[in-house]
C-alpha cells in the first residue's frame, strides 16, 4: 500500500529499501535490562512529486529523544566543526552581546558554548532532559523542550527575536516539519537567518551509507526536496554548500521569502543530471546496499574462520543499524569500545554486544576492529595509534568492507 508523502501530500510514494525490523538505534540497554527489545520496521520510500526520501513508518519522538545517550562533545571532530562554524558566523554576521543565537536540538551545548565564549547571548532547545541538564551544567541556558511554532511564538514574545537560528542534524528528525519551519520563520528577526545542516542524500547514496538510515532520521534530503519543503513554509534557500561532517551534509542558509538564491539552481541541475528525480536511482542504491551488506558479512566470516578475534569501535547509532542489518552479534564481535562514559557498561541495541572503554583495545588487543563510527575514522585511528602499532588492524565497512 502506498503511503502519502509527509511533505507534499502526494499519495503515490514508492518503496525503495527495507532494512527489516530494527531496534531503536540509540536505545542502549543496561546490563540488567531485558534481552528482548522493541523493534520497528525500517523502510525507505520516495516521493515522485517532490523527490523527498523518507521513512515509511515512524516512532513517536517522545520514545526517541526524551532520554538520550548521544553527547556531541565526546567527538573531537564535532568540537572542531562547531568551533569553526561559530567563529565564522560571529564574524560574518557581526554578532555581539546584543545578539541572540537560538539552537534547536542543541545537545550538550557543544556548539552554543563557542558563541557564548565570543560574548553572544545564547539559548538552547534540547528535548532530552538528561542532555539539557549537561548543557546547563556547562553554563549554556537550555530549555528541555521540542522546538515548534508554539514555542517560537512564546520565545519571541518573552525574549524577542533571534538574530541567528541554528539547527544542526535536527530537521531530518522532525516527523512534522511544518511546525518546526514555521517556528524558524516566526523566531528570526527580519534581517536574521537560519543555518541548518542535514545529511545529504547524494552522499548517502554514493557512499552506500545505509547505516545512517534509522528511526530518528525520518527524512533524507536532496537540494530539490529541501527547496520545495522550505518554499511551502514561506522560507527560501539563501545559500547551500556541501560540508564533510557525518559522511556528507548540506549546510543551508535560510531566510523568509519565496526565491531561492542563484547558486541553489546549480545543485538542482546537478541532481537532475545524476538522476536523483528518478526511481531507478534509488533502486540501484538498494542493490548496492545488498552488495555492501554481503561483502561485510563475508569479510567477517572469513576472518573468524581464520581464528581472528574481532571487536568494534564507536557505539554509534549507525553501528546499531550496521550490526543488526548484517547479522553481526556476539558470535562475531567480542565487544565495542566507545569514549562516552554514558554508553560504557551498556549493550549495543538488538545484538547485545557489551560496550567498554577504549582502554579495552590495548588490554585485549583484538586482531581486528570494525569501525562502526567510520565517519570519525581518522580521529579514531589517531587516538588509538598504539593499537595499530601493536599489529591491530581496523576494518572500514563502507561502501565496501576493507581492511585499512
pLDDT digits (tens, 9 = 90+) for 166-186: 999 899 988 889 999 999 999
pTM: predicted TM-score of the whole model, two decimal places: 0.88
Grade residue 75 by pLDDT with cuts at 50, 70 and 90.
low
Q: Nearest 5 degrees, angle CA 200-CA 205-CA 209?
A: 85
Taking the chain, what is the end-to-end CA distance rounded to the nearest angstrom?
43
Q: Is the Cβ–Cβ distance between 366 and 390 less than 8 Å?
A: no
- Torsion 338-341-345-350 (CA) sign: negative
Q: Please give the sequence-ordered ranges of beta strands (E in DSSP) within 228-342, or none if there are none.
A: 235-243, 249-256, 310-313, 336-337
Res 65: pLDDT = 53
Cα within 13 Å of Cα(376), Cβ side? 24
Q: Rounded to an integer, what distance in angstroms lies between the CA atom of residue 71 and that of residue 69?
A: 6
**% pLDDT > 70, the chain:** 96
- CATH dotted code for 281-403: 3.40.50.720
Between 398 and 60, where is the model more confident?
A: 398
Same fold, 72-199 and 281-403: yes
Pick from 109, 138, 114, 111: nearest CA to 126: 109
Return the pLDDT at 61: 66
User: What DSSP element (H or E) covers 45?
Assistant: strand 39-46
**Residue 338 — pLDDT band, cuts 50, 70, 90?**
very high
| DSSP code, position 328 | -
Q: Where are the domains of the chain?
A: 72-199, 281-403
Strands 162-168 and 100-104: parallel
**CATH class held by domain 72-199:** alpha beta
Contact 398, 207 (CB under 8 A): yes
Amino acid at each position: 500500500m502506498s503511503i502519502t508523502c509527509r511533505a507534499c501530500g502526494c499519495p503515490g510514494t514508492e518503496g525503495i529499501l527495507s532494512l527489516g525490523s530494527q531496534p531503536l538505534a540509540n536505545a542502549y540497554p543496561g546490563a540488567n535490562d531485558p534481552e528482548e527489545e522493541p523493534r520497528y520496521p525500517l523502510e525507505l520510500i520516495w516521493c515522485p512529486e517532490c523527490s523527498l526520501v523518507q521513512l515509511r513508518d515512524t516512532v513517536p519522538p517522545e520514545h526517541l529523544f526524551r532520554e538520550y545517550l548521544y553527547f556531541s562533545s565526546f567527538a573531537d571532530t564535532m568540537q572542531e566543526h562547531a568551533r569553526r562554524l561559530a567563529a565564522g558566523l560571529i564574524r560574518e554576521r557581526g554578532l555581539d552581546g546584543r545578539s541572540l543565537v537560538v539552537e534547536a536540538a542543541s545537545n550538550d551545548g557543544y556548539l552554543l558554548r563557542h558563541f557564548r565564549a565570543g560574548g553572544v547571548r545564547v539559548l538552547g532547545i534540547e528535548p532530552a532532559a538528561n542532555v539539557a541538564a549537561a548543557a546547563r551544567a556547562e553554563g549554556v541556558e537550555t530549555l528541555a523542550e521540542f522546538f515548534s511554532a508554539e514555542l517560537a511564538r512564546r520565545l519571541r514574545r518573552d525574549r524577542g527575536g533571534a538574530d541567528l537560528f541554528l539547527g544542526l542534524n535536527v530537521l531530518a528528525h522532525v516527523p512534522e516539519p511544518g511546525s518546526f519551519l514555521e517556528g524558524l520563520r516566526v523566531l528570526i528577526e527580519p534581517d536574521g537567518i537560519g543555518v541548518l545542516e542535514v545529511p545529504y542524500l547524494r552522499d548517502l547514496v554514493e557512499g552506500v551509507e545505509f547505516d545512517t538510515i534509522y528511526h530518528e532520521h525520518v527524512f533524507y534530503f536532496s537540494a530539490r526536496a529541501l527547496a520545495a519543503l522550505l518554499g511551502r513554509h514561506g522560507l527560501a534557500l539563501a545559500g547551500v554548500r556541501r560540508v564533510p561532517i557525518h559522511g556528507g551534509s548540506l549546510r543551508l542558509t535560510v531566510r523568509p521569502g519565496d526565491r531561492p538564491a542563484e547558486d541553489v539552481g546549480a545543485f538542482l541541475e546537478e541532481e537532475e543530471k545524476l538522476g536523483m528525480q528518478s526511481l531507478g536511482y534509488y533502486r540501484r542504491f538498494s542493490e548496492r546496499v545488498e552488495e555492501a551488506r554481503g561483502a561485510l558479512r563475508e569479510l567477517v566470516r572469513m576472518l573468524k574462520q581464520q581464528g581472528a578475534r574481532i571487536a568494534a569501535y564507536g557505539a554509534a547509532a549507525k553501528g546499531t543499524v550496521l550490526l543488526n542489518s548484517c547479522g553481526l552479534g556476539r558470535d562475531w564481535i567480542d565487544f565495542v569500545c566507545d569514549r562516552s562514559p554514558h554508553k560504557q557498561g551498556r549493550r549495543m541495541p538488538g545484538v547485545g554486544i557489551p560496550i567498554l572503554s577504549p582502554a579495552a583495545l590495548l588490554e585485549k588487543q583484538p586482531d581486528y576492529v570494525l569501525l562502526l563510527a567510520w565517519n570519525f575514522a581518522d580521529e579514531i585511528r589517531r587516538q588509538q595509534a598504539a593499537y595499530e602499532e601493536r599489529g591491530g588492524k581496523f576494518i572500514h565497512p563502507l561502501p565496501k568492507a576493507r581492511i585499512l
